[in-house]
Amino acid sequence: MQVSLDFQRDTMRRTLLASCGAFLYSLVILVCYNLGYILIESQQMIILLGTFWAGHILTVIYVYQHHRKRTAVTSMTLPHMVWAILFVSIILYHTVEIRSALMMAYLTILPFGAFRLQWRGFFGITLFTISCYALALFLLQQTRPGHWSPEIEGIIGFTFVLAMFGYCAVGHEFSVMRDRLSDSNDRLKRALVKIEELAITDELTGLYNRRHLMNVLEQQRAITNREGSSFVLAFIDLDNFKGINDEYGHGTGDEVLRQFSVLLQDSVREVDLVSRYGGEEFVLLLNGVGIETASIVVERIREAVEVLPFSKFNLNMTISVGITEYKAPEAVAETLERADKLLYVAKREGRNRVVQSAENTVVEKGAVEKGAVESN
């Protein structure tokens, strides 16, 4: 699944930030080890640091691979935090005198959960951290009783537990705010989609509007000029529509327009485009066909309109159509204008017919099959 580049960048940035923190903490551990505050064999220290960094580097590689492919990455926040907390807890077990200072590493790890973890995740990682710290103290008391003070460790531990549950409460608030923000973003996205749909859709018929038609025509013109393909425009007008509004009212006129729009959509392919140009005028964009094929399609539409009863009054309707093929490299406005002129030829010749432009000719088809050819 593709994800946004911003999201991927945020994930990668947080991963690199965690890497910087891990590097600095490793330096602190090495300094403390050299000063004698961490009681562990050098070979064990190398194994411990090597194991920690191996896991960390594998996580970074995993995130980076998904960053390159721009695919959704399974959240590594919780596993990464668990790995780091285990490492810190082991270090604390081997630490003397400055254990409370190295405990600050917990407080640098836990805030990363605010980016991705939900309430249960915050609560779980809090309990896990407290358990790891308590286990480290228990093992220390069992194996090195001289290296810890029950009173001091009790005060530190109590303060630490309070801090952890405070973190858990703050984490819950972060989770709630993040969910609310996510919901708000989702609503905003849906609203923007709706606005975009309204901007390109005719409110009455649900067809694409004139603005969207012109944008698509420009795109199709570029494709046709580049690839040598073809497309045909059909300019359609409902005959005597004004009389419907005058006699039956605009409500009936609107019903006729909606019914006719459904017929148009059902009569063409998904790759074609149907738009309401204005009033009772419609434009069909027929992709990848020549004028003869387009003429057959439009003639079928004309015949379907002729026999279909419209509105509750069972009105008889007819259409006049002008169709023409795009001729590269002309502007789309020229193609539309030519189709519009052919439409008026159809109306002038008696309506209820399809007039198509061939090479330098005008051919009429309709209720009266003239087969007439006039000069264009």
DSSP track, 198-217: HHHB-TTT-SB-HHHHHHHH
> For residues 48 and 54, what is the distance between their CA atoms, to the nearest angstrom?
10
Q: Give the end of a domain, one of 196, 219, 254.
A: 196
First-to-final CA distance of the chain: 54
> For residues 126 and 1, what is the distance between their CA atoms, to the nearest angstrom?
32
Is the bond preceding residue 329 a cis peptide, omega within 30 degrees? Answer: yes
Q: Is residue 319 part of a domain?
A: yes
Q: Is residue 165 part of a domain?
A: yes
Look-up: residue for tokens 């991705």? 116
Q: Give the end of a domain, one of 196, 220, 242.
A: 196
Q: Give the end of a domain, one of 145, 168, 196.
A: 196
Q: Can you give the CATH number for the domain in which 304 is found?
A: 3.30.70.270
Residues 214 and 275 in one domain: yes
- Domain span holding position 114: 5-196
Residues 242 and 363 in one domain: yes
Helix, coil or strand: residue 249: coil
Residues 105 and 67 in one domain: yes
Residues 109 and 50 in one domain: yes
Q: Is residue 204 part of a domain?
A: no
Residues 20 and 127 in one domain: yes
The per-residue pLDDT string of the chain (376 residues; one tens digit each, 9 = 90 and over) reads 444 566 667 777 778 888 888 899 899 999 999 999 888 899 999 999 999 899 888 888 877 776 666 555 555 677 888 889 999 999 988 888 888 888 888 888 888 777 777 778 888 888 999 999 899 888 888 887 777 778 888 888 888 888 888 888 887 788 788 888 888 988 998 998 888 888 899 999 999 999 999 999 999 999 999 998 999 999 999 999 999 999 999 999 999 999 999 999 999 999 999 999 999 999 999 999 999 999 999 999 999 999 999 999 999 999 999 999 999 899 999 999 999 999 999 999 999 999 997 554 455 666 544 433 333 3
Q: Where would I find the beta strands (DSSP E) of the chain?
A: 231-238, 273-278, 281-287, 319-325, 353-358, 361-366, 373-375
Residues 78 and 169 in one domain: yes
| List of residues 6+ apart from 120 with CB closer than 8 A | none
Q: Is residue 61 part of a domain?
A: yes
Q: Is residue 119 part of a domain?
A: yes
Residues 106 and 252 in one domain: no
Residues 174 and 219 in one domain: no
DSSP 8-state code for residue 235: E
Residues 26 and 133 in one domain: yes
Residues 183 and 260 in one domain: no
Cα 186 from chain centroid? Answer: 10
Q: Is this prediction's pTM over 0.85?
A: no
Q: Is residue 293 part of a domain?
A: yes
Q: Is residue 160 part of a domain?
A: yes
Domains of the chain: total: 2
> For residues 357 and 343, what is the distance between their CA atoms, to the nearest angstrom?
11
CB 21 within 8 A of CB 53: no
Q: Is residue 325 part of a domain?
A: yes
CB 54 within 8 A of CB 61: no
| List of residues 6+ apart from 107 with CB closer than 8 A | 163, 167
Residues 265 and 307 in one domain: yes
